[in-house]
């Protein structure tokens, strides 16, 4: 969903009249404020930082060794392969058909990017159960937009979570596992990653 469409929708909802009375009664408008200047025209209250946190020293393969992933997903013999850049660290753990991928995204504007991605997914796939995002609490920062710091997509076997101005994307596939089990395993890996990464740096 584009930012312009989101803003138009927000204004439309805020302008609805209250219940009862005539349609000309006073309407209440809600403004989401930020302590930061809204350089792109948006003001969103949870933006504590718009700087890049980066992933320097937070390589996923180092933070979560293959042995830890094996214990979580109950698959032995996983091999870890890393792909790291300045703001992105990816570790893939695989053996045969079993495949686990964990990404730590430390690029700038993580709070808004997480919110925008979640909102767009809701709008595009709300009528498609396997692609519709389902909120998951007690994994990331549940005080962020949407009141859930993570969401799960059944058809992708993927959890996207937000905490400390970084985004984690965890995909889990092991043959024969149920969706609920995959979601639980992805949640455990995301929490492990957040617990082990460096604290958020002040901008």
- Evaluate whether residue 188 is within a structural domain: yes
Percentage above 90 pLDDT, the chain: 58
| pTM over cut 0.85 | no
Q: Residues 120, 151: contact at Cβ < 8 Å?
A: no
Average pLDDT taken over every residue of the chain: 79
- Evaluate whether residue 40 is within a structural domain: no
Of the pLDDT bands very low, low, confident and very high (cuts 50, 70, 90), residue 8 is: very low
Judged against a pLDDT cut of 90, whether residue 154 lies above it is answered with yes
- Evaluate whether residue 148 is within a structural domain: yes
Query: What pLDDT is recorded for position 57?
Result: 63
Contact partners, residue 41, CB within 8 Å, separation at least 6: 3, 7
- Evaluate whether residue 101 is within a structural domain: yes
Q: Residues 159, 151: contact at Cβ < 8 Å?
A: yes
Count of domains forming the chain: 1
Query: What pLDDT is recorded for position 15?
Result: 42
Q: Which domain holds residue 73?
A: 60-196
- Evaluate whether residue 21 is within a structural domain: no
- Evaluate whether residue 90 is within a structural domain: yes
Judged against a pLDDT cut of 90, whether residue 40 lies above it is answered with no
- Evaluate whether residue 34 is within a structural domain: no
Query: What pLDDT is recorded for position 23?
Result: 40
- Evaluate whether residue 117 is within a structural domain: yes
- Give the β-pairing of 98-105 and 134-136: unpaired
Judged against a pLDDT cut of 70, whether residue 108 lies above it is answered with yes
Mean pLDDT throughout 5-17?
42
Helix axis angle, 110-125 relative to 3-14, nearest 10°? 80
């Amino acid at each position: 969903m584009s930012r312009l469409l989101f803003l138009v929708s927000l204004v439309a909802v805020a302008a609805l009249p209250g219940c009862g009375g005539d349609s000309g009664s006073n309407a209440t408008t809600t403004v989401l404020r930020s302590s930061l200047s809204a350089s792109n025209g948006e003001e969103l209250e949870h933006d504590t930082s718009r700087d890049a946190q980066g992933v320097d020293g937070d390589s996923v393969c180092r933070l979560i060794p293959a042995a830890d992933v094996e214990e979580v997903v109950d698959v032995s013999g996983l091999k870890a392969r890393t792909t790291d850049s300045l703001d992105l660290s990816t570790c893939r753990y695989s053996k045969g058909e079993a495949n686990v991928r964990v990404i730590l995204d430390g690029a700038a504007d993580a709070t808004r990017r997480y919110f925008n991605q979640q909102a767009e997914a809701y709008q595009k796939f709300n009528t498609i159960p396997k692609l519709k995002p389902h909120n998951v609490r007690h994994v990331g920062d549940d005080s962020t937009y949407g009141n859930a710091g993570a969401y799960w997509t059944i058809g992708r076997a993927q959890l996207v979570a937000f905490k400390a101005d970084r985004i984690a994307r965890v995909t889990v596939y092991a043959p024969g596992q149920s969706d609920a089990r995959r979601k639980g395993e992805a949640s455990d890996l995301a929490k492990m990653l957040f617990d082990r990464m460096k604290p958020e740096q002040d901008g």
